[in-house]
C-alpha cells in the first residue's frame, strides 16, 4: 500500500461549505467526493454477504456517513441537483444513502425483522446555518435557539427515528427525554441482556417508550455540555431547562461578525445562569432565573449531585 500523503485541495470544489477540509495526511485512494458512495457500497455488500452466509442470524451494522458534516463535498452525480447549493446537494445525497440501505433490507427480505435507528450527533454546524439561512432561506436549527457548540436547544436537539415493524408503531411521536447514551441500555433491553453496574452509567432502557408513546417518563433528567468545557453544563428535567452559566457556552455571538445578527438579548442579563420553560418557550427567549428561583435551586442541586456521583442512572435502574 502506498504511504499516506498530504491532502491536495486544489482539485476539490471551492465554496463556503468547503473550508472545514483541514490540511493533513490522507489515506491513498481516499475519494473526498465519493467516500459516502464507497461507504454505502461496503455496507450493502456486508448485508448481502451476511444474509447469504448466515441466513436468519442477527447482525449489527453501524453506518456512519460523511454527509452532512463539513466539508460538504457531494458526489458528482448529486452536485447541482438540490437547488440549495453544495450543502443542499449533500443533504440530497444523505437521503439517497438512507433510501438505498432501506431498499437493500427490503430486497434481502429482512426489513421487517430489523431495527433501524436514524440519528445525528449534534445540531447543525455554524457555517451550514449561516450560509443556508443567508443563501437559501433554510434553517436546520429552526425553531430552536442556537446551533452546534451552543448550550441552547439548537446545539443538542437532533432527530431520532426508530423503525421496527411489529414492535414500534409507525407514525408516532414520543415526548420522552432521551439521549444517544440511551441506545446502549435500550438495545441491551431488546436482547434481554442485563448490564453490569459499572457499564453505561448514563444509559436508560427506552424500549417501553419505543413501544408506547404515552409511557411514563423513563429518564429522570438529562445533562448536556457546551463546547467551552466542564464549566458549561445544563440540566433538563420535565419542562424545565437550567443552564449553569450565562451565554451560549459555545459560540461567541458578541465577537463573531457572522453570528452577531443571530444574537438574542438575554431577558435577565445579570443572572449567573438561565432557566427556561420549554413547554411554553421552546426558543429560550424568557430567562426565568430570578422569577423561579426555587426551580433553579432544585435543578442546580440535582446537577451537583449527578456530578458528585458521576452517573445519572442508579444501580436500581439497570436494564432490562
* C-alpha span between 315 and 54 (Å, rounded): 37
Q: Is there a cis peptide before residue 320, judged by omega within 30 degrees of 0? A: yes
Query: Which set of grid coordinates corresponds to residue 269?
Result: 442579563
Residue 67 lies in a domain: yes
* C-alpha span between 181 and 80 (Å, rounded): 37
Measured CA distances, 291 to 191, 241, 243, 283, 299 (Å): 46, 14, 15, 18, 14
Query: Which set of grid coordinates corresponds to residue 239?
Result: 419542562
Determine the pLDDT at residue 2: 57
Contact 5, 26 (CB under 8 A): yes
Contact 31, 86 (CB under 8 A): no
Dihedral class, residue 80 (left if φ above 0, else alpha if ψ from -120 to 50, else beta): left
Residues facing residue 160 across a β-bridge: 119
Determine the pLDDT at residue 250: 93
Give alpha helix (H) positions in the chain. Answer: 35-53, 85-107, 126-136, 153-156, 182-190, 207-211, 293-309
Measured CA distances, 77 to 10, 67, 74 (Å): 20, 14, 8
Residue 82 lies in a domain: yes
Residue 37 lies in a domain: yes
| HSE-up (13 A, CA, CB side) for residue 217 | 10
Determine the pLDDT at residue 164: 97
* C-alpha span between 268 and 289 (Å, rounded): 7
Residue 63 lies in a domain: yes
- The number of residues in the chain equals 320
Residue 84 lies in a domain: yes
Residues of the chain under the 70 pLDDT cut: 1-4, 315-320
Contact 63, 102 (CB under 8 A): no
pTM of whole model > 0.75? yes
* C-alpha span between 215 and 237 (Å, rounded): 16
SS3 label, residue 43: helix
Residue 6 lies in a domain: yes
Residue 65 lies in a domain: yes
Q: Is there a cis peptide before residue 42, judged by omega within 30 degrees of 0? A: no
Q: In degrees rounded to 5, what are phi and psi of residue 243?
A: -105, 120
Nearest in space to 132 (alpha carbons), one of 264, 16, 260: 16
Per the structure, the count of domains in the chain is: 1
Range of the domain at 38: 1-48+59-111
Residues facing residue 243 across a β-bridge: 234, 274
Residue 316 lies in a domain: no
Determine the pLDDT at residue 1: 47
Amino acid at each position: 500500500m502506498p504511504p499516506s500523503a498530504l491532502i491536495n485541495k486544489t482539485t476539490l470544489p471551492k465554496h463556503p461549505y468547503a473550508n472545514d477540509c483541514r490540511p493533513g495526511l490522507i489515506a491513498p485512494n481516499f475519494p473526498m467526493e465519493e467516500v459516502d458512495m464507497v461507504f454505502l457500497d461496503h455496507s450493502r455488500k456486508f448485508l448481502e454477504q451476511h444474509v447469504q452466509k448466515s441466513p436468519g442470524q442477527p447482525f449489527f451494522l453501524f453506518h456512519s456517513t460523511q454527509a452532512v458534516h463539513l466539508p460538504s463535498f457531494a458526489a458528482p452525480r448529486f452536485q447541482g441537483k438540490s437547488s440549495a447549493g453544495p450543502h443542499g446537494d449533500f443533504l440530497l445525497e444523505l437521503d439517497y444513502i438512507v433510501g438505498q440501505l432501506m431498499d437493500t433490507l427490503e430486497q434481502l427480505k429482512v426489513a421487517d425483522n430489523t431495527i433501524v435507528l436514524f440519528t445525528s450527533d449534534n445540531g447543525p454546524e455554524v457555517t451550514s446555518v449561516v450560509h443556508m439561512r443567508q443563501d437559501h432561506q433554510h434553517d436546520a436549527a429552526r425553531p430552536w435557539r442556537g446551533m452546534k457548540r451552543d448550550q441552547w436547544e439548537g446545539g443538542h436537539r437532533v432527530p431520532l427515528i426508530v423503525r421496527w415493524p411489529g414492535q414500534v408503531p409507525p407514525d408516532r411521536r414520543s415526548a420522552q427525554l432521551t439521549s444517544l447514551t440511551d441506545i446502549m441500555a435500550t438495545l441491551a433491553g431488546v436482547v434481554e441482556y442485563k448490564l453490569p453496574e459499572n457499564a453505561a452509567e448514563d444509559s436508560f432502557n427506552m424500549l417501553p417508550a419505543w413501544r408506547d408513546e404515552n409511557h411514563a417518563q423513563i429518564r429522570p433528567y438529562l445533562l448536556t455540555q457546551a463546547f467551552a468545557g466542564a464549566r458549561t453544563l445544563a440540566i433538563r428535567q420535565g419542562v424545565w431547562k437550567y443552564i449553569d452559566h450565562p451565554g451560549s457556552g459555545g459560540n461567541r455571538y458578541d465577537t463573531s461578525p457572522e453570528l452577531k445578527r443571530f444574537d438574542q438579548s438575554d431577558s435577565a442579563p445579570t443572572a449567573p445562569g438561565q432557566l427556561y420553560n420549554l413547554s411554553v418557550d421552546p426558543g429560550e427567549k424568557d430567562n426565568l432565573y430570578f422569577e423561579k428561583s426555587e426551580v433553579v435551586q432544585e435543578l442546580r442541586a440535582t446537577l451537583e449531585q449527578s456530578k458528585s456521583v458521576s452517573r445519572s442512572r442508579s444501580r436500581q435502574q439497570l436494564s432490562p
